[in-house]
Structure 1
Amino acid sequence: MRRIVIFLGVILFPVSALSQSAAVHTVSVLDLQVALRAALRAVEVCSEAGHQAAASVVDRFGVEQVTLRNNMAGAHAAEAARRKAWTAASFNMPTSEIDETETGGDVSGTTGIPREVPIGGGLPIVSQSGELLGGIGVAGGGSGETEAKCARAGLDAIADQLK
């Protein structure tokens, strides 16, 4: 009797079927208004510090949701902000922590990725439960450290909505 139960178990529930992933995945995305609020606050904080910057927010896949640029920001700022946001979302880490040259590091050897920008100013956007929602990038703030502070201000502006 036991052999029949095992045999039926193998036929009805093959191991390969149990180990396969789901056919459909559900992910969370930021509402456009929330993304806009984060980018706007980042640009405002940089402006208050005397910098003409741009800020960009991308979703978890690196697709741009919104990019804002101070009227006097340089021509490069919007694209650099997008690329920093993309990098932060793609690696799920602050862009200032990316060291492509660190032997054996998490991102060593990634210098060939065309859109990657491994300098300060990009932060991942993560829900309070730890789910990656996207990235925010700031450029034109004078330094990676200042740009990261502006990006952090953008995240702080939406923190209560990242449940």
Structure 2
Amino acid sequence: MRRALMFLAILLLPVPANSQSAATHMVEVLDMHLAMRAALRAVEVCNEAGFQAGASVVDRFGVEQVTLRSNMGGAHVAETARRKAWTAASFNLPSSDLGSLAGPGGEASLAAIPGALPLAGGLPIVSATGMLLGAIGVAGGGGGENEAKCAKAGLDAIADQLK
């Protein structure tokens, strides 16, 4: 248990580059129009594959920027997509990479973190300078592998603007 808590602390608490803390921090933020374009493209790609999906984009802090759902998408897709995006932004990793931490055999249990959803379909959005801008999550797209492809299509739709 102690090892699990230390592991979570390392993941969740960034180490400062120097010993002094600045009073303010400069961060890049994802433009609302890019968030909408990414979510729309992700939903379109899932629709083209025959699925009624939802996509959500959150900012670097996990706060929802936009969530879109296909007209016939199930009631669960919006919240599930948002949670996948939140998970990817919170850990700055694809949500599928966290699955090994969620089960009994993992170093720590993500079940103890409210809102975490370590299923495929959530991807971080990173600027050209390497700064985390947020994340996109997709649900209702026929399973994690396909949902990750839809999320990637959303990222590809805004890649030129992130350069």
Indicate the residue corresponding to 1:54 in structure 2: 54
Q: CA deviation at 1:79?
A: 0.3
C-alpha distance in 2 between matches for 1:84 and 1:136: 8
The one-character-per-residue Cα deviations of 1:106-158 (angstroms, maximum 9, x if unpaired) are xx322211100001000000112211000100000010000000000000000
Query: Is the partner of 1:111 in helix, strand or coil?
Result: helix
Distance of 2:24 and 2:111 partners within structure 1: 33
CA–CA distance in 2 between the matches of 1:76 and 1:137? 13
CA offsets, 1:9-60, max 9 Å, x none?
xxxxxxxxx8311100011111100000000000000000000000000000
Matched residue, 2:156:
156
The answer for the alignment partner of 1:64 in structure 2 is 64
TM-score by length of 2: 0.84
Identical aligned pairs, as a percentage? 71
SS at match of 1:52: coil
Structure 2 stretches of 5 or more lacking a match? 1-17
Question: CA 1:103/1:47 → structure 2, altered by over 3 Å: closer, same or farther?
Answer: closer
State the alpha-carbon separation in 2 of the partners of residues 118 and 19 from structure 1: 33
The C-alpha deviation readout for 1:70-109, integer Å capped at 9, x for no partner, is: 00000000000000000000010001111213544xxx32
RMSD: 1.2
The answer for the alignment partner of 1:122 in structure 2 is 122
- Runs of at least 5 residues in structure 1 that lack an aligned partner in the other structure: 1-17
Alignment map for 1:67-86 (pairs within 5 Å) = 67-86=67-86
- 1:160 Cα deviation from its structure 2 partner: 0.7
Please identify the structure whose Cα radius of gyration is greater: 1
CA distance in 1, matches of 2:139, 2:106: 28
TM-score (norm 1): 0.84
CA distance in 2, matches of 1:109, 1:50: 34
Alignment size in residue pairs: 143
